[in-house]
Amino acid sequence: MKVLKFGGTSVGSVESIKNVKKIVEACDEPVIVVVSALGGITDKLIETARLAGTGDSEYLTHFKGIIHRHHNVIDGIVPEKRKQEVLQIVNELLDELGNIFRGVSLIKDLSAKTQNTIVSYGERISSVIVSRVINDAVHYDSREFIKTEVQFNKNIVDFDLTNELVRKTFKELPKVSLVPGFISSDKKNNDVTNLGRGGSDYTAAILAAALGASRLEIWTDVDGFMTADPRVISNTYVIEHLSFIEAMELCNFGAKVIYPPTIYPVYHKNIPIVIKNTFNPEAQGTLITQDSASGEGKAIKGISSINDTCLITVTGLGMVGVIGINYRIFKALAKSGVSVFLVSQASSENNTSFAVKNADADLAVKVLTEEFAQEIEMGEISEISAEKDLATVAIVGENMKHTPGIAGKLFNTLGRNGINVIACAQGASETNISFVIELNSLRKALNVIHDSFFLSNVQVLNLFITGIGLVGKDLLEQIRKQQPNLLKDKSLRLNIVGLANSKKCLFRREGISLDHYEEELKASPLSASPAAIRDGIIQMNIFNSVFVDCTASNEIAGIYKDLLNHNVSVVAANKIAASSAYDNYAELKRIARKRDVKFLFETNVGAGLPIINTINNLINSGDKILKIEAVVSGTLNFIFNVLSEDIPLSKAIRLAQESGYSEPDPRLDLNGQDVVRKLVILAREAGYRVEQSDVVKKLFIPEEYFQGSLDDFWKQIPKLDKEFEERRKKLVSENKRYRFVATLDGGKVEVGLQEVDSKHPFYQLEGSNNVILITTDRYKEYPMVIKGYGAGAMVTAAGVFADIISIANIR
């Protein structure tokens, strides 16, 4: 025989009960079917009781809801010929329940005993209904054979008595026995008790163990035991096989799919548990047996979490070396029925921290303050402190045993993502490492652990992209096209979790589809400001996140520091930060290093050309940069190359702007500012401490052209056309060309217009191309040359994309 337990959702609706019927009737051996209350009913009963207990007549509305829900299900599922009978039994039960509620509301008193009676109606009614739906089912009342006694203020199963009664009751097994889960009764006075929330699983396990079932099947609403709580993170998957120990560790720590005590009875009898999905019976489910599937080889099998955590700390120098302090702590807690689920004590012995549920926190502090009143008064122990609203996470797997490096990897992963571990514990069995963190980091923690231990086999980068101009648009298009390939070939998922232009911003944790992002952004109710973008990203507190700045905005560059400090990597096409005051640049780099995130800006110089990376590689491998000569203004180069008899200076500038080669405001290119910035960045990356003000500028457009507005500039600039045409003609006749060159030479920095002859390496430089000559200790006689497209939305976007991908750990 086997025992099948169907949870609340499995008996929550007409459709689901039809599934239950099919599943049970397909069994060809005798089965005991344990059912929960209809999904949500236990919560409703508790809420209704609470209202009644305060005398709030609103309880009646809730109660009507409960009646309605049951009537609807009866109406939809019970065969006509049995409807009358079922309605009669159920209505009698509901009448009793109504009377109890009325009594509670009249005397405004809700005792534990009454509450236990009230919640028992959920299972009592559901089991009656289901027993009349499944063919040949015999209905039982588990209060008659699941017996409890009070220990430490809790109702605990009396196994000797229960096993005896169960065996007696089921001596003759009908084909289908239908048993309400959860409910029990006190062995002394027969008062209704229960096995705790989620306790139907336990009922089923007790029956399976007492009767030596061939297996215990837990039918629920998910395909099996998942690698983490599927309600918190999205990329979980079903674990095919767990050992009893692993399952126990996982559910003790909050994996709601099985009620923790469930494992013990069947574990002792070595009865396998199978978790199955009532809504997808074909799915294989999870098998739980003595041995775990060691073949899978993964160090950790699953992650579980409890979001309801309070950390209590008893600390004081008076504890050091004193025997019996921990005994007193836990005795006092046990006496008052406070359950502790994590304990941590440093070997210095001067503090013991432990985790309890938030609801138990005040009581725990009270009893400990009483217990240690004397020591507290003498100053040997500090006031007992409680830190509420935390979360506990546990990683579990029998393969962790004797595998070095798991804790290291775990804490490194958490640290890199800015998650602070407040307390931690690992037992010598090495099957579980648990730690306490801030509640608002829970989701992030689960995600990063899931990712870094490759439970999911897919790495995720969460991107916030700001600035949807020429570069930003191209970048989004490149990402859109490349997303499927990266997922397929590199197991890398690029998830766009935020977008902003100058007007609006949009955040979506699950990812924004790039098919209609423009409309979505337009329709977003959130207006964009640097502060709103920064706060939105920080509040989202999402793992592996990367902020991508495709703007040219000062203010956006101003939020990098806060983002880096919150462990968000920054990829900037925007040059402002890297060329700002040296101290700011250095601080951003320092924060990124400290936080173990990235601050990348390869496209600040030469768009997609690998210039900054190359300089870094040279320096990191011990080379010294002696000199850099570079044409790094794609715009200026484009302008000088396009100048001709037909295209005067003013038109060339206009063309550069329209084709996206120049900054949106081309004056930034023409006044040398853009080249100055690039040179400053190059010099810094090459190891020199320079400021923009150190750069000597030799310009070709007089200063007064830059004074007014952009409009004024466009109006004025044609005045220079004639003079430039003459100079151009002269140069052509001398077989020379103009190049606007940035030079770093032994720490000195200069930008200026140079005339280069046909032998110079800069002479041949088409379109908007850039060229950079790097002279180093190792590349002295023949400097290193990097040359190619140095501007343009497409290659800049590609460079930004490459920076983003370099943050992921892919090959």
Report residue 676 as tokens: 């100055």
The secondary structure of 357-421 as a DSSP string is -HHHHHHHHHHHHHHTHHHHHHTSSPPPEEEEEEEEEEEE-GGGTT-TTHHHHHHHHHHHTTPPP
Contact between 401 and 427 under an 8 Å Cβ cutoff? The reply is no
Task: Residue 42: name its binding partner from ligand ADP, ligand ASP, Mg ion, none (Cβ under 5 to 8 Å by kind).
Answer: ligand ASP
Helix (H) / strand (E) containing 149: strand 147-151
Instruction: Rule CB under 6 A: choose which of 4, 8, 41, 564 binds ligand ADP.
Output: 8
Q: At what angle do helices 406-416 and 442-452 cross, to 10 degrees?
A: 130
Residue 388 phi, psi dihedral angles, 5° rounding: -90, 175
Instruction: Rule CB under 6 A: choose which of 24, 35, 146, 255 binds ligand ADP.
Output: 255
By CB under 6 A, tell whether 181 contacts ligand ASP: yes
Task: Residue 257: name its binding partner from ligand ADP, ligand ASP, Mg ion, none (Cβ under 5 to 8 Å by kind).
Answer: ligand ADP
By CB under 6 A, tell whether 261 contacts ligand ASP: no
Instruction: Rule CB under 6 A: choose which of 2, 6, 7, 433 binds ligand ASP.
Output: 7
Minimum distance from CB of 204 to ligand ASP (Å)?
9
Task: Residue 522: name its binding partner from ligand ADP, Mg ion, ligand ASP, none (Cβ under 5 to 8 Å by kind).
Answer: none
Task: Residue 662: name its binding partner from ligand ADP, ligand ASP, Mg ion, none (Cβ under 5 to 8 Å by kind).
Answer: none
By CB under 6 A, tell whether 252 contacts ligand ADP: no
Catalytic residue among 44, 444, 678, 787: 678
Minimum distance from CB of 36 to ligand ADP (Å)?
6
Other beta carbons within 10 angstroms of residue 129's beta carbon come to: 22
Quote the CA–CA distance of 405 and 640 in Å, as a whole number: 58
User: Which of 220, 243 has the CB closer to ligand ASP?
Assistant: 220
Quote the CA–CA distance of 493 and 486 in Å, as a whole number: 7
Minimum distance from CB of 205 to ligand ASP (Å)?
11
Q: What is the DSSP letter of 174?
A: P
Quote the CA–CA distance of 128 and 726 in Å, as a whole number: 101
User: Which of 200, 541 has the CB closer to ligand ASP?
Assistant: 200
By CB under 6 A, tell whether 229 contacts ligand ADP: yes
| Contact characters 123-162, ligand ASP, x per CB under 6 A | ----------------------------------------
Determine whether 678 is an active site residue. yes
User: Which of 7, 316 has the CB closer to ligand ASP?
Assistant: 7
Task: Residue 226: name its binding partner from Mg ion, ligand ASP, ligand ADP, none (Cβ under 5 to 8 Å by kind).
Answer: ligand ADP
Residue 124's DSSP bridge partners are none
Quote the CA–CA distance of 101 and 46 in Å, as a whole number: 11
User: Which of 37, 683 has the CB closer to Mg ion?
Assistant: 37
**How many chain residues are in contact with ligand ADP, going by CB under 6 A?**
18
Instruction: Rule CB under 6 A: choose which of 30, 98, 174, 230 binds ligand ADP.
Output: 230
Quote the CA–CA distance of 779 and 784 in Å, as a whole number: 6
By CB under 6 A, tell whether 37 contacts ligand ASP: yes
Q: Based on C-alpha coordinates, what's the Rg of the chain?
A: 35
By CB under 6 A, tell whether 182 contacts ligand ASP: yes
Report residue 53 as tokens: 């207990």
Quote the CA–CA distance of 374 and 369 in Å, as a whole number: 9
Instruction: Rule CB under 6 A: choose which of 36, 115, 185, 292 binds ligand ASP.
Output: 36
User: Which of 198, 799 has the CB closer to ligand ADP?
Assistant: 198
Q: At what angle do helices 325-335 and 358-371 cross, to 10 degrees?
A: 130
Minimum distance from CB of 502 to ligand ADP (Å)?
41
Residue 588 phi, psi dihedral angles, 5° rounding: -60, -40
Closest CA to 368 of 352, 344, 347, 349: 352
Quote the CA–CA distance of 281 and 283 in Å, as a whole number: 5
Instruction: Rule CB under 6 A: choose which of 105, 177, 200, 662 binds ligand ASP.
Output: 200
- Residues 140-199 binding ligand ADP (CB under 6 A) are 198
Quote the CA–CA distance of 436 and 313 in Å, as a whole number: 13
Instruction: Rule CB under 6 A: choose which of 12, 199, 606, 666 binds ligand ASP.
Output: 199
Residue with tokens 């090459």: 686
By CB under 6 A, tell whether 8 contacts ligand ASP: yes
User: Which of 230, 469 has the CB closer to ligand ADP?
Assistant: 230
Contact between 423 and 436 under an 8 Å Cβ cutoff? The reply is yes
Give the residue ranges of DSSP H helices in 215-281. 244-252, 263-269
Minimum distance from CB of 361 to ligand ADP (Å)?
23
Closest CA to 740 of 728, 725, 726, 756: 756
Instruction: Rule CB under 6 A: choose which of 113, 167, 197, 624 binds ligand ASP.
Output: 197
Minimum distance from CB of 119 to ligand ASP (Å)?
7
Contact between 606 and 772 under an 8 Å Cβ cutoff? The reply is yes
Quote the CA–CA distance of 116 and 191 in Å, as a whole number: 9
Q: At what angle do helices 112-131 and 41-53 cross, to 10 degrees?
A: 150
Minimum distance from CB of 742 to ligand ADP (Å)?
57
Quote the CA–CA distance of 706 and 248 in Å, as a whole number: 73
User: Which of 18, 231 has the CB closer to ligand ADP?
Assistant: 231
Quote the CA–CA distance of 782 and 443 in Å, as a whole number: 54
| Contact characters 199-228, ligand ADP, x per CB under 6 A | ---------------------xxx--xx-x
Instruction: Rule CB under 6 A: choose which of 12, 53, 122, 397 binds ligand ASP.
Output: 122
User: Which of 122, 648 has the CB closer to Mg ion?
Assistant: 122
Report residue 574 as tokens: 């925007």
By CB under 6 A, tell whether 288 contacts ligand ADP: no
Task: Residue 375: name its binding partner from ligand ADP, ligand ASP, Mg ion, none (Cβ under 5 to 8 Å by kind).
Answer: none
Residue with tokens 């005045």: 719
- Residues 12-51 binding ligand ADP (CB under 6 A) are 36
Minimum distance from CB of 260 to ligand ASP (Å)?
12
Residue 314 phi, psi dihedral angles, 5° rounding: -110, 120
Instruction: Rule CB under 6 A: choose which of 53, 198, 467, 792 binds ligand ASP.
Output: 198
User: Which of 264, 706 has the CB closer to ligand ADP?
Assistant: 264
Task: Give the interface with Mg ion as residue ranges (CB under 5 A).
Answer: 7, 198
Give the residue ranges of DSSP H helices in 440-469. 442-452
Quote the CA–CA distance of 56 and 30 in Å, as a whole number: 47
> What are the residues binding ligand ADP (CB under 6 A)?
7-10, 36, 198, 220-222, 225-226, 228-231, 255-257
List active site positions.
678
Residues near ligand ASP, by CB under 6 A:
7-8, 36-37, 42, 122, 181-182, 197-201
